[in-house]
Amino acid sequence: MKLEELGYLSVGSQMRRIYEKLQLEGDNIYKGINITFKSSWFPIYYLLLHTHRALTVSEITENISYSRITVKNVVRELEQIGYVRIIPNPTDSRSKLIQLTEKGRSIARELQHVWTIIQDNLESIFGKENDLFLTQLKTINRTLNTHSMGKEVLKKYYNYTIRNAKEEEFEEIGMLLVEVYSALHGFPSIEESPEYYDMLKNVGRLTEKPSIELFVAVSEQNKIGGAVVYFHDMKDYGSGGTATKEQNACGFRLLGVSNKVRGFGLGKKLTEFCIDKGKKSDAETMVIHTTNSMKLAWKMYERLGFKRANDLDFMQGNLPVFGFRLKLKS
């Protein structure tokens, strides 16, 4: 079977093969015109040549598709051949500046001439009609930089669904919640709130009350990715403030998603599951709380329709806790 027959699965391999071929051809061209130069040097050299000032490694990596370590390796090679010099950065002692030397600039005219010829030749290979190939490359680069293909594939592979937690899963869910909440920046530590973390650790015990359910996000491979506690009756909600006095209301607390599956949308999935359950109940409103340590979740709740409810706010020790309501019935 030929590589090309694999379709998009072979794109990475085919692009690498094209890249390596172009690198080899380029190196042979420079060798043929007796200039000490490598194809891999081109992006950095070209940037330094046309920026007309010294650049930091960070500035170079921001402008080309090389990694920081690759930039450093190429700069080291250019320095060894005498094409660049590395000088102190007067505005930042932690970084260095890279600039072309006179020797480096001395080959620019001849390189520019051969680059023009190479450009014409590449157009004949890839096509120059409306720069279609370059436009597609730019679009692909932009898409890969703004969307994680890895997360999208893993999300579909694991295919998490929400269901009631099983008793044999209670211990694992408790450990997950302790891990998640203890890692929140600005949230009380285990030492500061031992009773709270004991409640998280033994979260399964909450389900002993018939009005409380523990929902879990489980993958097709039976891996637990997150959990949330749902309250049919706010009298069992268990928070400070006035939330437990809410009438005709339901709520959820202790939503947690494993750091290993962040970005899979499980927090939103668990929240929407609770909202849907609330809409199917007799409750007219849904109540939740969050803190400044959970700003990402805070924004998600607002996008899903929750509104700030200052009357539900309270202090948990030194930690401000903020209330939200969602209207379930139109």
- 205 with 106, same domain: the answer is no
CATH number for the domain spanning 176: value is 3.40.630.30
pLDDT for the residue numbered 6: 74
> For 178-194, what is each residue's pLDDT tens digit?
999 999 988 999 999 99
DSSP bridge pairs for 324: 288, 308
pLDDT for the residue numbered 243: 94
- 214 with 278, same domain: the answer is yes
pLDDT at residue 30 greater than cutoff 90? yes
Task: Enter the tokens of residue 294.
Answer: 């959970």
Backbone angles phi, psi at 223, to 5 degrees: -100, 130
Among 151, 186, 207, the domain boundary falls at 151
- 97 with 108, same domain: the answer is yes
- 145 with 207, same domain: the answer is no
- 182 with 249, same domain: the answer is yes
- 99 with 224, same domain: the answer is no
What would the mean pLDDT of 200-224 be, rounded to a whole number? 97
What would the mean pLDDT of 165-176 be, rounded to a whole number? 97
Whole-number percent of the chain with pLDDT over 70: 98
8 Å CB contact between 229 and 164: no
pLDDT for the residue numbered 3: 63
- 92 with 173, same domain: the answer is no
Q: Where is average pLDDT lowest: 172-181, 183-192, 280-289?
A: 183-192
- 131 with 165, same domain: the answer is no
pLDDT at residue 295 greater than cutoff 90? no
Among 110, 134, 151, the domain boundary falls at 151
8 Å CB contact between 197 and 190: yes
Give whole-number Cα distances, 193 to 134, 186, 226, 238, 261, in Å: 57, 13, 22, 15, 26
Among 90, 116, 151, the domain boundary falls at 151
pLDDT at residue 149 greater than cutoff 90? no
8 Å CB contact between 32 and 16: no
- 137 with 229, same domain: the answer is no
pLDDT for the residue numbered 2: 67
44 confidence band (pLDDT: 50, 70, 90): very high
Whole-number percent of the chain with pLDDT over 90: 74
Domain count, the chain: 2
Q: What's the whole-number average pLDDT of the chain?
A: 92
CATH number for the domain spanning 65: value is 1.10.10.10
- The CA distance from 199 to 190, in Å, is 11
> For 101-133, what is each residue's pLDDT tens digit?
999 999 999 999 999 999 999 888 888 776 777
- 183 with 87, same domain: the answer is no
Task: Enter the tokens of residue 95.
Answer: 């970084």
pLDDT for the residue numbered 141: 80
- 166 with 312, same domain: the answer is yes
Q: Which residues span the domain enclosing 24?
A: 3-151
pLDDT at residue 1 greater than cutoff 70? no
pLDDT at residue 5 greater than cutoff 80? no
- 206 with 122, same domain: the answer is no
Identify which has the larger pLDDT, 77 or 139.
Answer: 77
pLDDT for the residue numbered 293: 87
* β-strand pairing of 285-290 with 249-257: parallel
User: Which range in 13-22, 68-77, 288-297 is most confidently predicted, on average pLDDT?
Assistant: 68-77
On whether the pTM is more than 0.85, the answer is: no
